[in-house]
Amino acid sequence: MSARTVLSLVTAVTALTLVTTGCTSTKTAGSGGTEITLVTEGKLTTCTHLPYEPFQFRKGSEVVGFDVDIVDLVAKELKVTQEVVDTPFEGIQTGEDLNAGKCDLAAAGMTITPVREENLDFSGPYFDATQALIAKKGSPYTSLASLKGKKLGVQQGTTGETYAKKNGAGVETVQFEDVALLLTAVKTGQVDAAVNDNGVLFEYVRKNADLAVTTEFETGEKYGIGVRSGNTALRKEIDKVIKAARSDGRYDALYQKWFPAAPKK
């Protein structure tokens, strides 16, 4: 038996345990009459990793952002309130948090990838993104090739880290746990540049004129909302809400709200 088989067996056992213990959880009627089981009664619990502005970040005592608003639409449909849990990205993208019942869903500017799809289920895509490079304004770092022998900041466990390691031959990658630490490192010159998702970097340079987005890499990523593998009832509910919001203008209104500088879609 390969190590991989053992791992998926462990996952299957964890999932089974959850189904059994799930009996004590609340059952909420989905709008299609299907039963959706939530980890905490009356709440739609979201796992995310803060900060990831403008998708999720703290504003005073509240967590706000594009993803938060999208999940609020789902919560409203289920007639519950959203509760956000801030947790490291690693546990989110490996499906561990969902399997452990820490949350019902994960909304974390998370790219749908084949590897992640083995460990959790994704809603349909709700946002397009691509990797991009950020550096001090006027710096010569406009490509990975230009960073040979230089320090490139990456965020742990992200598609940006994977991209930089795969395509940045001779570039020294330096890992950071979250995007706030990563961007501060660029600002203070601890690293020469950093890779991360374009939406987040454009938001940062809008507020930090000393930095610039020097290139985008056209990785063609799509964000999805994660649910525990096999939680089809909740996944379908999310898809239904996103589809409705796209067609009735609520999605566009949120896009305008959180990406005011983006060209009109």
Whole-number Å distance between alpha carbons of 135 and 147: 11
At closest approach, how far in Å is the CB of 122 from ligand GLN? 11
Half-sphere exposure of 211 (CA within 13 A, CB side): 27
At closest approach, how far in Å is the CB of 161 from ligand GLN? 8
At closest approach, how far in Å is the CB of 132 from ligand GLN? 11
- Cα of first residue to Cα of last residue in the chain, in angstroms, is 50
Closer to ligand GLN by Cβ: residue 94 or 139: 94
Closer to ligand GLN by Cβ: residue 110 or 245: 110
Closer to ligand GLN by Cβ: residue 158 or 215: 158
Q: What is the DSSP string of 138-164?
A: T-S--SSGGGTTSEEEEETTSHHHHHH
Closer to ligand GLN by Cβ: residue 30 or 88: 88
Whole-number Å distance between alpha carbons of 181 and 173: 14
Q: Given phi > 0 = left and psi -120 to 50 = alpha, else beta, which region is 45?
A: beta
Closer to ligand GLN by Cβ: residue 51 or 101: 51
Q: CB under 8 Å to 33, separation ≥6 — which residues?
A: none
Residue nearest ligand GLN, CB atom distance:
158
At closest approach, how far in Å is the CB of 66 from ligand GLN? 12
At closest approach, how far in Å is the CB of 159 from ligand GLN? 4
* 137: exposed, middle or buried (Cβ count in 10 Å: 0-12, 13-18, 19+): exposed
Residues near ligand GLN (CB under 6 A) are 49, 52, 89, 108-111, 129, 155, 158-159, 197
